[in-house]
Amino acid sequence: MDDMSTQPWAWDEQTWRSKVEHVRAGRSMKPAKWKNGARCAVALSFDSDHETNELRDGGKSIGRMSQGQYGNRQGVPRILDALAKYGAKATFFVPAVAALLYEDEQRRVVAEGHEIGIHGWIHELNSQLPYEIERDLMFRAADTLERITGVRPVGLRTPSWDFSPSTLRIERELGLLYDSSLMADDDPYELLERGEPTGIVELPVEWIRDDAVYFNMHRFTGLRPHTPPAAVYDIFYREFERAYEEGGLFLLTMHPHVTGYRSRIWILEKLLEEIARRPDVWVATHAEIAAFVKAECP
């Protein structure tokens, strides 16, 4: 039996406060107005995981890897075509192994004016790794993306959408401009490490604004798609609509191997159509948004 003295209810105040204060949301970096006087900013992101979800789990299912390959063969081309139709720029977070499997895809993404950000090495669960291993994987991932695209990435979305005790330290060592993995606000804020401002901008995610939680399926577990595409569109649109009303940031995460299907890609296309109806919305990459708010809130 575990020693009861080590259980959370037995912690002294210094212990639980230290856990809360390790990584914390600092000052809001929501500007009074966005670039060129825009009322609202839109950050569209695509986590191009492809085969790495299955590879991380051991690479035993050829079927799941084929689903990942769909992201490259159909998902990314459909997404890029939709973005081009509306002149929208976006950010693609790519595990280094996926980038190595599909180098031409990454070059096309960058050539069309989009950003590529770090998303781990092989979609590892970084929040479970010791510092030395997590650091090595993140640095190797950054180097790999730079070699393939010719552009050094300035932002990270952790593959686990979570931080280990070392993640923020590693981001600072990488000299990153922004992170997009945490969930303390709707709008940009500065990350604090043990109360110290880091200068790193957080562009917050949320599972509500992620397609995978509504559509993921795993054959041998109870995980099944439970939300129809029209309902998912309604959730995403309501998030955008309120961000517009509040003059804030609408950040959306989609996956090429999830939303790239014929019956789902319309969600992105319809959102882009609705966003384009409003002339005072700034659609930009995560790097552009992070750089803007950092300049506005030095």
Query: Which pLDDT tens digit goes with each residue over 10-20?
Result: 999 999 999 99
pLDDT(2) > 90: no
For the chain, the average pLDDT equals 96
Residues facing residue 92 across a β-bridge: 46, 116
Domain annotation for the chain: domains and CATH numbers: 25-296 (3.20.20.370)
Query: Which pLDDT tens digit goes with each residue over 87-99?
Result: 999 999 999 999 9
Q: How deeply is 24 buried, as exposed, middle or buried, from its count of CB atoms within 10 A (0-12, 13-18, 19+)?
A: middle
If we measure between CA atoms, which residue out of 146, 204, 194 comes closest to residue 166?
Answer: 194
pLDDT(1) > 90: no
pTM for the complete prediction?
0.96
Query: Which pLDDT tens digit goes with each residue over 42-67?
Result: 999 999 999 999 999 999 999 999 99
Residues facing residue 117 across a β-bridge: 93
Q: Among 59-63, 77-81, 118-122, 173-177, which stretch is predicted with the lowest mean pLDDT?
A: 59-63
pLDDT(268) > 70: yes
